[in-house]
C-alpha cells in the first residue's frame, strides 16, 4: 500500500505536505487549533460531542464507560454528520457554540459523547478541555482515569 499524504495548513494557507507511512489522517492547522477534516462518520454524529475512532477507522460518539472509546477519543465534532458522511472534528483549540453556558473550569466526557462539567461517577473520567468563556471551550483531551 502506498504511503498516504497528510496536508498541513497553517493560517488556512498550505505550508507543507508531510508524508507519514500508513496514515490517512489530514489535519488542518489554523493558528492555535487543529481539525480533522477527512474522516467518515460510522454512525450519525451529533454536533459538539466527543468522538472516537473505532477499529473500522470510522468516527463514533464516545462512551464514557468504554475503555476502548476513551483511549481512542480524538476530539469534539464541530457539527452534526450523517452516517457515511465526512465529519469535522476539533482535536485541539478553541471551539465556540452560542447556546453553551459554561462556568469556568474543566469540561468532561459525559454519557454518549455529551460534554459536561459534572464528572461521571462511574466508567472513565476524561477531561476533554476547559471553559474559556460561557460560550467557548478549549479542546485539549487528557488521559482517562478509571472511576471506582
pLDDT at residue 96, as a whole number:
92
Confidence class of residue 36 from pLDDT cuts 50, 70 and 90?
confident
CA-CA distances (angstroms) from residue 5 to 10, 16, 30, 82?
16, 11, 18, 26
Query: Which of 8, 14, 16, 12 lies closest to 30 in space, CA to CA?
Result: 12
Report the percent of the chain where pLDDT is more than 90.
68
pLDDT at residue 1, as a whole number:
40
Confidence class of residue 32 from pLDDT cuts 50, 70 and 90?
low
Task: Quote the cell numbers at residue 147.
Answer: 472511576
Query: Which of 94, 81, 100 lies closest to 132 in space, CA to CA?
Result: 94
The 10s digit of each residue's pLDDT in 88-117 is 999 988 899 999 999 999 999 999 999 999
Whether 54 shows a pLDDT value over 80: the answer reads: yes
DSSP 72: H
Instruction: Give the strand pairing for 73-77 and 59-61.
Output: unpaired
Task: Quote the cell numbers at residue 72.
Answer: 481512542
List the beta bridge partners of residue 53: 59
The domain spans of the chain are 32-146
DSSP string computed for 3-17: PEEEEEEETTEEEEE
Contact 130, 140 (CB under 8 A): yes
pTM of the model: 0.79
The 10s digit of each residue's pLDDT in 62-93 is 999 999 999 999 999 999 999 999 999 999 88
Whether 119 shows a pLDDT value over 50: the answer reads: yes
Contact 115, 49 (CB under 8 A): yes
Average per-residue pLDDT in the chain? 82
Amino acid at each position: 500500500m502506498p504511503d498516504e499524504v497528510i496536508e498541513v495548513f497553517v493560517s488556512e494557507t498550505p505550508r507543507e505536505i508531510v508524508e507519514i507511512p500508513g496514515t490517512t489522517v489530514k489535519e488542518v492547522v489554523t493558528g492555535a487549533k487543529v481539525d480533522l477534516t477527512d474522516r467518515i462518520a460510522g454512525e450519525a454524529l451529533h454536533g459538539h460531542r466527543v468522538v472516537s475512532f473505532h477499529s473500522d477507522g470510522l468516527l463514533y460518539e464516545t462512551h464514557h464507560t468504554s475503555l476502548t472509546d476513551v483511549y481512542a477519543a480524538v476530539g469534539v465534532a464541530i457539527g452534526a454528520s450523517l452516517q457515511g458522511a465526512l465529519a469535522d472534528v476539533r482535536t485541539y483549540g478553541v471551539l465556540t457554540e452560542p447556546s453553551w453556558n459554561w462556568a469556568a473550569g474543566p469540561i468532561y466526557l459525559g454519557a454518549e459523547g455529551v460534554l459536561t462539567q459534572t464528572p461521571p461517577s462511574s466508567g472513565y473520567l476524561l477531561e476533554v478541555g476547559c471553559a474559556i468563556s460561557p460560550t467557548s471551550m478549549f479542546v485539549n483531551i487528557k488521559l482517562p482515569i478509571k472511576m471506582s
